[in-house]
């Protein structure tokens, strides 16, 4: 039995999310099906994170155990051939005995992309969130400081979240503007379901002047989903990487 570590890139638009679903296509399901077609063995893929429908990844890390004995490069090439034309690419594969993509991860990194302009998106449609009204990125960045550190993030937690505790430690939440592009960088050991999108939605309210930093703090302290301003759409969310 060999354990392979995979680094995976994907466009989340055609999928119901990372996790295998009974009611639609998933990234996990597509890769597991491809592995079965290659080696004739049904395997389970374990990932560093579970992205929602429409969320993308630049470098999702996963592992899988097989009896195939294939060299990692050959497995990577075979998977990429089988996965076409689905928008999934295996960027790297290696043998990693004892490695666990989920439990060994010490930090997960996400980036949310907002395009702040009136013109419709063209090639970025579905890959970013277009906000037409002017956003004050500096005010968003300053307010984001209130969310870093250890907090009860119940307000920013989906009602379907399965995490045992709403208490998380957010290591980074930075808002950086370059022209019409606003990137929000979030880093933590783990996140609640919808946490990043919920934080981005509230920061958008800060950027438009609908909320102040005090309103954001009130929402955080409320520990109640009803206090949330907005859950941002999945389009602009990217899983950037995992640290071990």
Q: How many domains does the chain have?
A: 2
3-state secondary structure 11-49: CCCCCCECCCCCCCCCHHHHHHHHHHHHHCCCCCCEECC
Q: Which of 33, 52, 171, 215 is catalytic?
A: 52
Residue 223 in domain: yes
52 in active site? yes
Last residue of a domain, one of 95, 121, 153: 95
The residue segments making up the domain with residue 207 are 107-243
Q: Which residues pair with 8 in a beta bridge?
A: 60, 90
Average pLDDT over residues 155-182: 95
Check whether residue 113 and residue 227 sit in a common domain: yes
Q: What is the pLDDT of residues 105-163, one digit of tens each?
A: 999 999 999 999 999 999 999 999 999 999 999 999 999 999 999 999 999 999 888 88
Can you give the pLDDT at residue 186? 98
Q: Is 157 within 8 Å of 193 (Cβ atoms)?
A: yes
Residue 101 in domain: no
Q: Using CA atoms, how far apart are residues 165 and 160, in angstroms rounded to an integer?
A: 13
Q: Is the pLDDT of residue 35 over 90?
A: yes
pLDDT level of residue 189 (50, 70, 90 thresholds): very high
Taking residue 138's Cβ as centre, other Cβ atoms within 10 Å add up to 11
Radius of gyration of the chain (CA): 19
Can you give the pLDDT at residue 106? 97
Last residue of a domain, one of 68, 95, 122: 95
Last residue of a domain, one of 95, 125, 140: 95
Q: Is the pLDDT of residue 23 over 90?
A: no
| The two structure tokens encoding residue 113 | 């992309």
Angle between helices 195-208 and 137-144 (to 10 degrees): 130
List of residues 6+ apart from 13 with CB closer than 8 A: 54, 56, 87, 126, 127
Average pLDDT of the chain is 96
Residue 156 in domain: yes
Residue 131 in domain: yes
Q: What is the CATH number of the domain that holds 233?
A: 3.30.70.660
Q: Is the pLDDT of residue 22 over 90?
A: no
Check whether residue 88 and residue 111 sit in a common domain: no
Can you give the pLDDT at residue 188? 98
Instruction: Answer whether 0.85 is exceeded by the pTM.
Output: yes
Average pLDDT over residues 227-244: 97
């Amino acid at each position: 039995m060999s354990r392979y570590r995979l680094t995976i890139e994907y466009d989340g638009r055609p999928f119901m999310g990372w996790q295998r679903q009974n009611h639609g296509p998933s990234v996990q399901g597509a890769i597991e099906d491809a592995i079965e077609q290659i080696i004739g063995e049904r395997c389970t893929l374990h990932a560093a994170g579970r992205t929602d429908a429409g969320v993308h990844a630049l470098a999702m890390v996963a592992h899988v155990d097989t009896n195939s004995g294939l060299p990692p490069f050959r497995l990577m090439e075979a998977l990429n051939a089988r996965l076409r034309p689905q928008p999934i690419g295996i960027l790297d594969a290696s043998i990693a005995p004892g490695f666990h993509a989920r439990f060994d991860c010490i930090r997960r990194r996400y980036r949310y992309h907002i395009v702040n302009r009136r013109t419709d998106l063209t090639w970025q449609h579905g890959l970013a969130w277009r906000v037409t009204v002017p956003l004050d990125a500096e005010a968003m960045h300053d307010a984001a400081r209130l969310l870093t550190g250890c907090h009860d993030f119940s307000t920013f937690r989906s009602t379907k979240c399965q995490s045992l505790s709403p208490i998380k430690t957010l290591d980074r939440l930075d808002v950086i503007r370059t022209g019409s592009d606003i990137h929000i960088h979030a880093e933590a050991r783990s996140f609640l379901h919808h946490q990043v999108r919920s934080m981005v939605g509230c920061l958008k309210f800060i950027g438009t002047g609908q909320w102040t930093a005090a309103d954001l703090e009130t929402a955080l302290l409320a520990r109640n989903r009803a206090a949330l301003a907005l859950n941002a759409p999945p389009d602009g969310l990217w899983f950037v990487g995992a640290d071990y």
